Amino acid sequence: EKELINLNIREPIKLDVNDFQLRGVISEKIDGNLYLMKINFGKNGKFCAVKKILTSKLEEKSSNILNEIKILKTIRCPFTINAQFEAQDVNYTYLIMPLIVGKDLYRIIKKFGFIQEKLAKFYSAQILLALEYLHNLDIVFRNLKPENIMVDHIGYLKVHDFKYAKHLENNGRTYTICGTPEYMAPECINLQGYGKSVDWWAFGILVYEMSTGITPFYDQSQEILLTNIISGKYNIKHVLSFDLRNFIEKFIKIEPTERFGLSRLGVNEIKQDRWFTSINWHELVHKRLKPLYLPNIRNP
């Protein structure tokens, strides 16, 4: 685990925009479009995902973009996306990230209806390591959901979309309501102030959704959904193993201090849970465990 926790902070290498060859559009967003590009770097060049951002937006104090860029330039974790290179021209800043060829976890869940327990455990362990890494840097992710997790061509995960991520020093608190309603923690909805506790709540919701195909507090009415979350009203209707059911329930606690991950034992308490008994954490960090599922993908 030490190898995952240790930081290797460095500024992204700066490239010239003339090194870019546009190959397509990956996604279009308000804070900046994401493009598929080939960059003339190294012997044969490399395909990358490039986020094109109006430099003027970086000067807006209310913008989350600058904060997102700072975090992406800092993190170096096997299970998160990061910025590798940077470039600028007169009007734009270009953030160059590895191209993750694969499928998002949301589409995989929808394809199969739910994810078999052994595979859900494999995915959950990687997400746990990503959160551990971020929390060790005092970064709260605040946007955990299947749509923000990619399963790559070798069957491993990458957490992405850091637009709501925030650096909180000395166990600080923030009060912003953000994220997807189905994944919001009670303290976020109630404007009580929160920190890392919201990520562990969302982690429990995510494990539940992977295992059942639906979130535990879901209702078509958002008002009822939020009421269910605040009251802690949910029923596990699906047939789950005792260890998995018990594991999930340790995260979906109304009182943040009672949640897994927030005791003095921290993440180690989660890793030592019975549900994770079969996980070799050292081998997982180095991606030496055989993946249980490979998504059907095409090369760019």
**Cβ count within 10 A of residue 67:** 15
CATH number at residue 69: 3.30.200.20
Q: Is residue 7 situated within a structural domain? A: no
* Among candidate residues 45, 69, 98, the one where a domain is terminated: 98
Query: Phi/psi class of residue 156: alpha, beta or left (left: φ > 0; alpha: ψ in -120 to 50)?
Result: beta
Is 153 a residue whose pLDDT tops 80? yes
The CATH number of residue 261's host domain is 1.10.510.10
Tell me if 69 sits within 8 A of 103, measured CB to CB. no
Using the structure block, give the residue that is written with the tokens 């240790």. Answer: 6
The answer to whether residues 139 and 197 belong to one domain is yes
Q: Which residue has the higher pLDDT, 130 or 100?
A: 130
Q: What is the mean pLDDT of the chain?
A: 88
Pair 81, 156 in one domain:
no
How many residues in total does the chain contain? 300
One domain for residues 191 and 158 = yes
Its pTM stands at 0.89
Sheet harboring 46-54: ordered strands across? 13-14, 85-88, 92-98, 46-54, 33-39, 20-27
Q: Is residue 295 part of a domain?
A: no
pLDDT tens for 32-71 read: 788 888 887 667 778 889 888 888 877 775 567 888 888 9
**Whether residue 135 sits in one domain with residue 55:** no
Q: Are residues 61 and 137 in the same domain?
A: no
**Stretch 281-292: mean pLDDT, rounded?**
97
> 46-54 and 13-14: which strand pairing?
unpaired
Residue 42's domain comprises 17-98
Percent of the chain surpassing pLDDT 70: 91
The whole-angstrom separation of Cα 24 and Cα 37 is 7
Residue 167 lies in a domain: yes
**Domain contains 5:** no
Is 178 among the domain residues?
A: yes
Count of domains observed in the chain:
2
Which one of 58-62, 100-104, 283-287 scores highest in mean pLDDT?
A: 283-287
